[in-house]
Amino acid sequence: MRFLRRVLNMLVVLLIVSLLMFVLVRVLPGDPVGAALGDGATTEQIEKFRVQMGMDKPLQVQYFAYLRGLLEGHFGVSLMEPRDVGTIVWERLPATLELVVCSLALAILVGVPLGILAATHRNGPIDQASRLWSLTGVSFPNFWAALMLQLVLGAALSLVPITGRITGPPPEHITGLYLVDALLTGNFRAMGDAARHLITPTIVLALGPLAQITSMVRSSMLDELSRPYVGFSQAVGMPRFLINYKYVLRNAFSSTLTLIGFLFPLMIGGAFVVEKVFAWPGLARFGADAILANDYNAIVGVTLVICLFVVVVNFVTEELYVALDPRIRLER
């Protein structure tokens, strides 16, 4: 019952976002039609195009037509390339997902152990380094880190490719995630190549989240370590690692989980610039181009898809939260 209500809640959020975005892009200044047709377009051409796109009708009629289209899986035609936005999004989504998921995995796999070490060896070298990093890590724009890594790893040392997602033909399309596709088809050349292309963008996108995860794990571990039960367990002779990993970490982890939910939208924002630097053919780059071109349908479509992901990720983290931490029971 609770589950159903939450799903309904998510749908309402998405509906509101779609309405707001739909109205906003149309109300705010800017002339997408003129831009799409170019300077040479005559008034008749523009008028014809507007009728074609349904832009001559009242706003509410347009919105309901849009919603009806959504139900059938149509996101409307993009002005940048004359295809349905849904198709383009569907094509480009895997590239961004691959990047974001890899970065998140990297940030968690490195950040959590680092945070634990920092907390258990308080004021030690790891602790000092991670604290310094948590301040520095949020201090530079990630596109700069991207450019620098590109220069050093890609150009100067030639360790990794400079831009793009793959050299040569991509593996047979199954999921669109090159790593997975290559693995499934046993195309290990493509897999290695895709992985090499992934290295720098992944590191860049993981830098900020890594700093945040480390400091979150550290501070919540420290909070938890100061509780009476820790001293008690120690007094009765429970081994230190058992206290740390079985009890402290588990209790400390729920706040980290919430953070990971928050990080997801942030990383998609990061992908907007990182994808530009690496010429990564992802959704975020399409979104950035759409905003620059004032492409109504594309902006609304991309926002909706991003929102959908944010909502779903939040939902999943909250469910995990309950599963991991029996102290919390969501009564709502």
Partner 1 sequence: MTVTIARPLPPPPSRLRNALRGVGYFFRRAPLSAFWGVVAALIVAMAVAAPVVAPYPPLKSDFRSMQKPPSEKHWFGTDQIGRDTLSRVIYGSQTSLTVAFGAVLFGTTLGALWGLACGYFGGRFDMLSQRLIEFLQSFPDLILAMAIAMALGGGITTVIVAIAITRIPFGGRVIRSVVLSLKEMQYVEAARGIGASHARMMFRHILPQCVAPFLILATTHLGVAIVIEASLGFLGVGIPPPTPTWGNMLSDALNAGLVPPWWLVLFPGLAITLTVLAFNLLGDGIRDMLDPRLRGSV
- 79: number of Cβ within 10 Å: 21
Binding of partner 1 at residue 52 (CB under 8 A)? no
Among 89, 114, 210, 277, interactor with partner 1 by CB under 8 A: 277
Please report which residue ranges of 121-187 form alpha helices under DSSP H.
125-136, 142-149, 178-185
Binding of partner 1 at residue 160 (CB under 8 A)? no
What is the smallest separation between the CB atom of 257 and partner 1, expressed in angstroms? Answer: 17
Tell me if 320 sits within 8 A of 327, measured CB to CB. no
In the chain the beta strands, taken as DSSP E runs, fall at none
What is the smallest separation between the CB atom of 203 and partner 1, expressed in angstroms? Answer: 16
Among 69, 170, 265, 281, interactor with partner 1 by CB under 8 A: 265
3-state DSSP call for residue 153?
Answer: helix
Site for partner 1 in 107-136 (CB under 8 A): 135-136
What is the smallest separation between the CB atom of 186 and partner 1, expressed in angstroms? Answer: 33
Residue 252 CA from chain centroid, whole number: 24
Tell me if 144 sits within 8 A of 277, measured CB to CB. no
DSSP string, 256-286: HHHHHHHHHHHHHHHHHHHHHHTT--SHHHH
- 149: number of Cβ within 10 Å: 20
Among 15, 109, 266, 312, interactor with partner 1 by CB under 8 A: 266
What is the smallest separation between the CB atom of 323 and partner 1, expressed in angstroms? Answer: 24
Cα distance from N-terminal residue to C-terminal residue, the chain: 11
Binding of partner 1 at residue 198 (CB under 8 A)? no
Binding of partner 1 at residue 215 (CB under 8 A)? yes
Size of the site for partner 1 (CB under 8 A): 46
Q: Using CA atoms, how far apart are residues 273 and 241, in angstroms rounded to an integer? A: 41
Binding of partner 1 at residue 312 (CB under 8 A)? no
Binding of partner 1 at residue 30 (CB under 8 A)? yes
Choose between 98 and 275: whose C-beta lies nearer to partner 1: 275
Nearest C-alpha neighbor of 209 from the set 288, 285, 274, 121: 274
> Which stretch in 79-87, 94-102, 116-124, 305-313 sits in contact with partner 1 by CB under 8 A?
305-313
Q: Using CA atoms, how far apart are residues 308 and 17, in angstroms rounded to an integer? A: 10
Q: Using CA atoms, how far apart are residues 237 and 178, in angstroms rounded to an integer? A: 50
Sole residue written with tokens 């399409």: 286
> Which stretch in 48-56, 61-69, 109-117, 270-278 sits in contact with partner 1 by CB under 8 A?
270-278
Binding of partner 1 at residue 31 (CB under 8 A)? no
Choose between 225 and 238: whose C-beta lies nearer to partner 1: 225
Site residues, partner 1 (CB under 8 A): 16-17, 20, 24-25, 28-30, 135-136, 138-141, 143-144, 147-148, 150-151, 154-155, 162-163, 215, 219, 265-266, 268-270, 272-273, 276-277, 287-288, 291-292, 294, 299, 303, 306-307, 310-311
